[in-house]
Amino acid sequence: MKKKKLLFVFGTRPEALKMAPVIVAAKKDSRFSVRICFTGQHREMAQQVLDLFKIKPDHDLNVMRPNQSLALLTERLMNKLDPVLCAEKPDVVLVQGDTTSAFVGALAAYYHKIPVAHIEAGLRSFDKYQPFPEELNRAFVGKIAEWNFAPTKMAAQNLRQENTSPKSIYITGNTVVDALQSVQSKLKLSKSSHLKPVFESGRKVIAVTTHRRENFGKPLVDICHGILELAQKSPDIEIAWLLHLNPLVQNTVRKMIRGKARIHLLPPLGYLEFLTLMEQSYFLISDSGGVQEEAPSFHKPVLVLRNVTERPEGIKSGVAKLVGTDSKKILRESLRLLNVPSSYKKMSFGKNPYGDGKTSARILDILARSR
């Protein structure tokens, strides 16, 4: 039987992470041949994941430039993807999530009439500017895809409400849980030079991450105020703030936070280091979608620095809570978790609503059965 040729297109760390278990499984599966196109949208951060899972791209588009606009990024992606598709002629192009790489990858494949499989389809915040531009990126890919692999029943229902063909919708779980489970036994705090100073005091540790474009500017300033007040009012905690590489994030946070007692500004961590931080932290404050999906596996509450989320399952199940960027609400909900044991217990004992670690196998079986 002829092998089905899969071309994986991705460019950011979250995409690399969520594609990795599917790629690893597909390479071991005699039903498929695998080709990998890395766009380079997040080069340094994605490379850590590629190295960890021993994934070597067949194509590296190297699209990023300093201070590149979304329009220019989109143009460069399309121009560089076109010859790859012409050369490879895959049977299926797989994209993941909601990045510009995912959107343009799907669009370029559509122009070549190559079927598209969308991993992590159907997530919606129903606000086209939150997250921006990810909300519409994901919706556009859903319209193009022949296979929409929805991680949850709610995501599948979103697709049905948009009149997406029911034949294209499959509820598979989220591959992020596959990735986490595959490396969970390797987590060791003792091996992390970045994390040792954070945990050596024995105090409770709160992890903070921010990177969303809609939180740039005043929202990020307000977040900083909330974290500063939290540190001042809680002398028994340490705060580990992972600084995203974007200069708009770095400049604001460093200006307001650098040198403050018990707040550690850390560089972006490798995947294993980050999971170790998550596992060892008391709770997390983040605007990351991935954190919302991963933290429940460690039974860690998440305060979500967003007004809306395309991952409402965590909110509904009680393992996450929306706090937006209002400094007072960030402070109030953080103190509640620190000082009210029943509130912490309620958020920390829920089941992960996003997956069971078998998503990659389901995706590949569906693709293998499809003509």
Average pLDDT over residues 146-150: 98
- Catalytic site positions: 98, 120, 134, 211, 213, 244
Measured distance CA(9)–CA(38) in Å, rounded: 6
More confident residue, 1 or 174: 174
Mean predicted lDDT score pLDDT of the chain: 95
Architecture of domain 187-348: 3-Layer(aba) Sandwich (3.40)
Percentage of the residues of the chain whose pLDDT score is greater than 90: 88
Predicted pLDDT of residue 366: 98
Place of tokens 């620190």: 338
Predicted pLDDT of residue 187: 86
Range 346-351, long-range pairs (CB < 8 A, 24+ positions): 346/318, 347/283, 347/301, 347/318, 347/319, 347/320, 347/321, 348/283, 348/299, 348/300, 348/301, 348/319, 349/299, 350/296, 350/299, 350/317, 350/318, 350/319, 351/296, 351/317
4-174+355-369: which CATH number, 3.40.50.2300, 3.40.309.10, 3.40.50.2000, 3.20.20.140? 3.40.50.2000
Helices (H), the chain: 13-27, 43-52, 70-88, 100-111, 134-144, 153-161, 175-183, 196-199, 218-233, 247-257, 271-280, 289-294, 312-317, 327-339, 341-348, 359-369
Measured distance CA(325)–CA(305) in Å, rounded: 6
Tell me if domain 4-174+355-369 and domain 187-348 are identical in fold: yes
Are 38 and 138 in contact by the 8 Å Cβ rule? The answer is: no
User: Which of 82-91, 154-163, 263-272 comes out lowest in average pLDDT?
Assistant: 263-272
75-129 confidence digits (pLDDT tens): 999 999 999 999 999 999 999 999 999 999 999 999 999 999 999 999 999 999 9
Predicted pLDDT of residue 1: 73
Predicted pLDDT of residue 160: 98
Q: What is the pTM of this model?
A: 0.90
Q: Determine whether 345 is exposed, middle or buried from the number of CB atoms within 10 Å of its CB (0-12, 13-18, 19+).
A: exposed
Average pLDDT over residues 125-153: 97
More confident residue, 151 or 350: 151
User: Which of 20-34, 115-129, 190-204 comes out lowest in average pLDDT?
Assistant: 190-204
Predicted pLDDT of residue 67: 83
Predicted pLDDT of residue 371: 76
Given a cut of 80, is residue 191 above it in pLDDT? no
283-324 confidence digits (pLDDT tens): 999 999 999 999 999 999 999 999 999 999 999 999 999 999
Place of tokens 């790859």: 84
328-364 confidence digits (pLDDT tens): 999 999 999 999 999 999 999 878 899 999 999 999 9
59-80 confidence digits (pLDDT tens): 999 999 888 999 999 999 999 9
Beta bridge partners of 239: 206, 263
Measured distance CA(150)–CA(158) in Å, rounded: 9
pLDDT bucket at 43, cuts 50 / 70 / 90? confident
Q: Where are the domains of the chain?
A: 4-174+355-369, 187-348
Angle at 44 between CA 352 and CA 286, to 5 degrees: 35
Place of tokens 């936070």: 257
Are 268 and 245 in contact by the 8 Å Cβ rule? The answer is: yes
Buried b (16+ CB within 10 A) or exposed e, 54-70: ebebebebebeeeeeee
Predicted pLDDT of residue 190: 61
Are 267 and 194 in contact by the 8 Å Cβ rule? The answer is: yes
Are 14 and 36 in contact by the 8 Å Cβ rule? The answer is: no
Beta bridge partners of 257: none
Single-letter residue type at 216: F
Given a cut of 90, is residue 151 above it in pLDDT? yes
Are 149 and 120 in contact by the 8 Å Cβ rule? The answer is: yes
